[in-house]
Amino acid sequence: MLRRATTRILSHRRHCSTAEALKVTAADDLFMAAWKRTMPNLDPPKTPLSFLQPRPSTASAASIPSKMTINLVSSCSSGLSNKQAHMVIVPATTGQMGILPGHVASISELKPGLLSIYEGNEVTKYFISSGFAFVHSNSVADIIAAEAVPIEQVDPSSVQKGLAEFTQKLSTASTDLEKAEAQIGLDVLSALNSSLSG
């Protein structure tokens, strides 16, 4: 759907985006032709190429789309795919980073924190445990995280309990590794705490 929108807006670039699509279908056609020759009675299998959704072309550097396309993927589910939004704020290790359409292409490592997606008047918030955010030059943002939970699923009392437990672990930690683990626990839990209230 987005592909058709961009080809309408950038009609002079029409030949670029359809050329990529043609290359894909040409490879698929060769396979299909070979299959039909050898096994005409069997249905051909679906190749990964047929499942592949074409992504908007990155050549469209001339115009900035009005909305970002967000893909949020976590280890167990694809939280969001191709969600349109005006702005997204990701918890990068260098601080909260706001990404608007037309953002320069970048890769950022994420620290445990809150991911907010602003669409019109509504905000969707997810807590990200850690991961990476890839922003492409066509205003597509891919956010991958080990765990991305909607903030409503977080239990405040467990967060408080965990904070107390890890503060105590930090004071009794002896080896470097134990100290690091306790510090990580504190970081994650205080991020959870501030996300619940913020």
Q: How far is the CB of 171 from another protein (least distance, A)?
A: 17
Give whichever of 43 and 176 is closer to another protein, judged by the CB atom: 176
Yes or no: say if 165 and 181 are a contact pair by the CB < 8 Å rule.
no
Q: Is 192 helix (H, G, I), strand (E, B) or coil?
A: helix
Q: How far is the CB of 87 from another protein (least distance, A)?
A: 24
Instruction: Give the interface with another protein as residue ranges (CB under 8 A).
Output: 75-76, 112, 127, 129-131, 146-147, 149, 153-155, 158-159, 162, 176-177, 179-181, 183-185, 188-189, 192
Q: Is 128 helix (H, G, I), strand (E, B) or coil?
A: strand
Give whichever of 82 and 160 is closer to another protein, judged by the CB atom: 160
Query: How do strand 140-145 and strand 68-74 relate by DSSP bridges?
Result: parallel
Q: How far is the CB of 131 from another protein (least distance, A)?
A: 8
Q: How far is the CB of 142 from another protein (least distance, A)?
A: 17
Buried b (16+ CB within 10 A) or exposed e, 75-114: eeeebbeebbbebbbbbbeeeebebebebeeeebebbbbb
Rounded Cα distance, 137 and 135, in Å: 7
Query: How do strand 140-145 and strand 131-135 relate by DSSP bridges?
Result: antiparallel
Q: How far is the CB of 77 from another protein (least distance, A)?
A: 10
Give whichever of 87 and 97 is closer to another protein, judged by the CB atom: 97
Q: How far is the CB of 193 from another protein (least distance, A)?
A: 10
Torsion of CA 167, 171, 172, 176, to 10 degrees: 100
Ramachandran bin of 82, using left for φ above 0, alpha for ψ from -120 to 50, beta for the remaining angles: left
Q: Is 45 helix (H, G, I), strand (E, B) or coil?
A: coil
Tokens matching residue 154: 């977080």
